[in-house]
Amino acid sequence: MMSFSSSSTRICFNSLCNDALERPRKGWRRRTGEFADLCDRCASTYEEGKFCETFHMNASGWRCCESCGKQIHCGCIVSFHTFVLLDAGGIECMTCARKSFILTPNPAWPPPSLFLPALPDRIKDLSAKNWDLIAESGPVPWRQAPSLFSSSSARSGLQPRMPFEVDLPNGIDRLITTECPSAPSLEKKKLEDSSGRSMNGSLKFRASDILANGKEGNSGEQDNPVVNDLQKASFSANEVSMSHIGMAVSSALPNEANDHIKAFGSHVPRPMSSQLLGKQFSGHNGADTSGESQLHNGKPRGDGQLRNQLLPRYRPRITDQELQQISGNSVITPLFEKMLSASDAGRIGRLVLPKKCAEAYFPSISQPEGSPLKVQDSKGNDWIFQFRFWPNNNSRMYVLEGVTPCIQSMQLQAGDIVTFSRIEPEGKLVMGFRKASTPPPSDKGTESVNATSRVSTKEDVSAKKTKPGEVLSTPHHLKGNSLSPCNLPIDQANPADQASPRLKDDKSGCVATEVLGGKSSIRSRRKNSTLASKVKRLKIEDEHVIELKLTWEQAQGLLRPPPNYVPGVVVIEGVEFEEYEDAPIIGRPTIFAANCVGEKIQWAQCEDCFKLRKVPFDALLPSRWTCSENSWDPERSFCSVAQELTAELEYLLPASKPAASKKRDPDSVEDLEGLDALANLAIQEEGGSPQESSQTPTTKHPRHRPGCSCVICIQPPSGKGPKHKQTCTCTICLMVKRRFQTLMLRREKKQSEKEAEIFPQQKFQQHPIFSENVPEEIIRSFTNVENRSLDRKMMNGEDFSNDDVSRITSSVSAFKGQIDLNSQPERDDELSPRPDSDVVKRIMENAFERDLRLHFCNRSRERNNSEGDQTRFGGLGLEG
DNA sequence: TCTTTGCATGGGT
DNA sequence: AACCCATGCAAAG
């Protein structure tokens, strides 16, 4: 039995070796956080990057680099960092990935902190020189500081500067030095040295620099997982997460730091961070109104850390793609961005700067007059603004003065976004912009969420992923150079700009002039703030809201009310949410319908083949349901079996083919992808082709966004589409009827209760909707001609059109906004208290509702008697 | 009278 | 409740 305490009796971690470990050497980092102890031979093999080649040649998981064809072992922990997953599939070795600048981290990997191998000694040695350089550099002006850390001497001449290079906030330094007491003193000293010299937080560490602090070394050449991690951490998520950075940095630390590593990997906030920030940002409060705070005295300010602390709206949303294309021979550090207010974009020429941003990224100023600040715009022009502040409530309000010419030259207006970045190694401030009218960048994560959704308006900001050509662009005056110049120096990229005033040593790359979307509703966020608590719960940053909304929209399709529950509908920022009084059931969305003999059925779509299968009405399907689970119809329990062609199905999905008149191909549903197809089909049903339907504006509902799949929004524009018959069982009609029923029933119940309390005598004694005592205009305000027309149609059993359907919904909503098909009556009541003086209106309203309800419900009940009293669509619907 | 400048205010976070 | 910041506004030029 071996003794665990005796290292001499341990064996090599490589199970194919098992040599005794006389002098254990560190290998890869294991999931436990410890390093694999290897024998000399295995360690050397590992450090040479040939471990898998040597020991795992027969293992599975070998793949070829898409570029060079080199075989990479993708199947084990040892070499997971030596390749990247390509967006289009396949993998690419890190060498090729570097060449092509596509450095998307392997997204599916576990927290990198668990696997980070440390650096080979040769890299460590190389980087140590940089640390010495840093240590010897002495105090530097803030904008020069970065160059010290990204000097060309620190990198291989063959390797382009990578966009993953990130600012290492000096807070990290302190963290490391204070929280990792066991770190070697040398490293500690270096960190401390550098800590005090990173004025304004402009310390910029290349990945190799960071890695240089790693004590252990065994990574293969430039294949560095930290590189990916850093990139991922800092940019791909559209925000710089200090925890990520901390993770990456700490991961390079010796084993002793593992605890921290794990903590960072788990996004556990670091107390140090807040402490630092608390110090840094308390400068203007209280006693520090006149003098300089720590910040102003040139104390370190960390970009990443600060960035993480910035309000989300100021965090630069530059994407990794943008960075990749921007970088060229320089590195752009996104600092912050700001949407131009009316004041900013006005003629006053003052751009109010977010305080924290100004203090973090701009030179410290002690006098209100401030100092000139040179900023380069996207054309390469240098502008000199006056960076100053106003004393304000014991604080400061930072402004850039004289920005009008620049703003105008960029053709910016209120709502557009200006971005501030810093080009390294020059340390030059650059000012980019995004026009509000163009789609913004989106991180890959959001793309998947939003890809199938049509979204717009202010919440739309992050909805669409920017295509490469859109990611970076030149301003309008640089048309023609929109994409190609981005990896070129500006001078080359745009010769026309060579005449522009330039800095002598200007060799910066393209500036981050993202033509990205801003929030079109400039200050609606500020103004439209009357939100219920529910909204507040959802109201995060705009782009997150969108994600959330879409997620909710999608999720809602998977939620069903529990049996025998009638869900209410509440609209939160234009998105309908069904409310259940009990936990919803998550199931597969289906189409509830009735077949031609009145039997209630469901149509469920196979997860795999997308064919629609008929299942019993009361079947509750799992969220992932496939034909194989179609136990009700064994003949159709295989995806290979054609979709059942029935009259009901054809009626439900009549127009999935361009030529609606042609007989439906039973498998044509397969042309549509997933359950989104169902919603599309509902639209197509109205007569448009899929393409058209996705692009044609839907019937507008003021509180709904394009992409909203609610009953109102999925209709074609008014006047278009076929008429709906009274007996129509299409999705829209079913939903309308069902929702209306629910609404009316609940409304009636509520009103009855209230009336019983307030107007016991008047109850049913007046029916003011037909009362001649009520001024007609008041009546008209509740029962307009359209409503009457609709009412008549319903009474007479006439067919009603899409317009009618719209009116069913919108007209009810038109009741002073108190009746909304998307609203929950009770909620409306709460939100719209009715004063007693409004008795007439109220009675009229009640009467009309009852009137409308009578017509509608009677009709609906009649139909339901034959069609079934319960219809649902995609789990969205109400049960009446 | 118009523009610029500096500060105050108050809604929003 | 404190702070931020968009904007109003009065004084100065």
Give me A160's structure tokens.
Answer: 């382009």
Whether the predicted pLDDT of A499 surpasses 70:
no
Provide CB contacts within 8 A for A118, sequence distance 6+: A26, A29, A35, A211, A214, A215, A216, A217, A218, A219, A252, A254
pLDDT in tens, A56-106: 888 888 888 887 888 888 877 787 777 777 767 778 777 776 655 433 334
Cβ of residue A285 lies below 7 Å from strand C: yes
Which residue places its CA closest to the C1' of nucleotide B3?
A348
Provide CB contacts within 8 A for A858, sequence distance 6+: none
pLDDT at site A352: 92
Provide CB contacts within 8 A for A263, sequence distance 6+: A270
The single residue listed with the structure tokens 């309308």 is A736
Q: How confident is the model at residue A393 (pLDDT cuts 50, 70, 90)?
A: confident
Distance, angstroms, CA A553 to C1' B5? 50
Say which DSSP state A709 is in: -
* Closest alpha carbon to A550 in A454, A445, A693, A665: A454
Mean pLDDT of A5-11: 54
Topology of the domain comprising A317-499: At1g16640 B3 domain (2.40.330)
Whether the predicted pLDDT of A621 surpasses 50:
yes
Phi-psi sector, A457: left (phi>0), alpha (psi -120 to 50), beta:
left
- The separation between the first and the last C-alpha atoms of chain A, rounded to the nearest angstrom, is 72
Which residue places its CA closest to the C1' of nucleotide B8?
A392
Distance, angstroms, CA A849 to C1' C12? 63
Give me A225's structure tokens.
Answer: 């997982």
> Which nucleotide lies closest to A348 by the C1' atom and the CA atom?
B4
Provide CB contacts within 8 A for A319, sequence distance 6+: A235, A236, A238, A441, A442, A443, A466, A471
Distance, angstroms, CA A666 to C1' B8? 71
> Which nucleotide lies closest to A339 by the C1' atom and the CA atom?
C6
Could you tell me the maximum CA-CA distance found in chain A, to the nearest angstrom? Answer: 104
Contact A386, A438 (CB under 8 A): no
Contacting residues 326-355/A vs strand C (CB within 7 A): 338, 341-344, 350, 352, 354-355
Q: What is the CA radius of gyration of chain A?
A: 32
Q: Is the peptide bond before A391 cis (omega within 30 degrees of 0)?
A: no
Determine the 3-state secondary structure of A653 from DSSP. Answer: coil
Cβ of residue A529 lies below 7 Å from strand C: no
Report which of residues A191 and A761 the model is more confident about: A761
Give me A656's structure tokens.
Answer: 């999935």
Report which of residues A378 and A762 the model is more confident about: A378
Distance, angstroms, CA A342 to C1' C13? 25
Q: Which DSSP string do the residues of A721-753 spell out, in sequence order?
A: SPPBPTT---HHHHHHHHHHHHHHHHHHHHHHH
**What percentage of residues in chain A have a pLDDT greater than 90?**
1
Bases along strand B below 7 A from a protein CB:
4-13
Alpha-carbon torsion angle A342, A348, A351, A352, nearest 10: -80
Which residue places its CA closest to the C1' of nucleotide C2?
A285
Strands A590-594 and A585-586: unpaired
What residues are paired with A25 via a beta bridge? A38
pLDDT at site A65: 80
CB count, 10 Å around CB of A29? 25
* Closest alpha carbon to A207 in A233, A183, A184, A178: A233
Q: Where in chain A is the domain with CATH 2.40.330.10?
A: 317-499
Taking the C-alpha atoms of residue A134 and residue A139, their distance in angstroms, rounded to an integer, is: 10
Distance, angstroms, CA A345 to C1' C7? 12
Give me A863's structure tokens.
Answer: 């139909």
Contact A44, A29 (CB under 8 A): no
Please tell me the least confidently modeled range out of A60-64, A375-379, A598-602, A867-871. A867-871
Which residue places its CA closest to the C1' of nucleotide B12?
A526
pLDDT at site A353: 92
What residues are paired with A713 via a beta bridge? none
List, in sequence order, the alpha helices (H) in A150-257: 170-179, 185-195, 207-212, 225-231, 242-251
| Phi, psi dihedral angles at A84 (to 5 degrees) | -125, 150
List, in sequence order, the alpha helices (H) in A253-299: 258-265, 271-280
> Which nucleotide lies closest to A389 by the C1' atom and the CA atom?
B6
| Phi, psi dihedral angles at A350 (to 5 degrees) | -115, 125
CB-neighbour burial class of residue A252 (10 A; exposed 0-12, middle 13-18, buried 19+): buried
State the angle between helix axes of A731-758 and A839-867 in degrees (0 to 180), rounded to the nearest 10.
140
Contacting residues 388-417/A vs strand C (CB within 7 A): 392-395, 397, 414
Q: How confident is the model at residue A308 (pLDDT cuts 50, 70, 90)?
A: low
Count of alpha carbons within 13 angstroms of residue A684, beta-carbon side: 23
> Which nucleotide lies closest to A392 by the C1' atom and the CA atom?
B7
pLDDT in tens, A629-649: 888 888 888 888 887 755 555
Whether the predicted pLDDT of A613 surpasses 60:
yes
Report which of residues A398 and A852 the model is more confident about: A398
Q: Outline where DSSP puts E strands in A318-457.
A: 331-339, 350-353, 371-377, 382-392, 395-401, 417-424, 428-434
| Phi, psi dihedral angles at A432 (to 5 degrees) | -105, -170
> Which nucleotide lies closest to A312 by the C1' atom and the CA atom?
B13
Q: Which residues touch strand B (CB under 7 A)?
A: A 311, 347-350, 368-369, 390-393, 397, 401, 525-527, 529
The single residue listed with the structure tokens 């794990």 is A262
Bases along strand C below 7 A from a protein CB:
2-8
Whether the predicted pLDDT of A406 surpasses 50:
yes
Q: What proportions of chain A, in percent to the nearest 5, are helix, strand and coil? A: 40, 15, 45
Whether the predicted pLDDT of A453 surpasses 50:
no
Q: CA of A686: how far to CAs of A455, A665, A682, in Å?
A: 21, 18, 7
Which residue places its CA closest to the C1' of nucleotide C8?
A343
Q: How confident is the model at residue A596 (pLDDT cuts 50, 70, 90)?
A: low
Say which DSSP state A234 is in: I
> Which nucleotide lies closest to A344 by the C1' atom and the CA atom?
C6
Distance, angstroms, CA A203 to C1' B4? 38
Cβ of residue A526 lies below 7 Å from strand C: yes
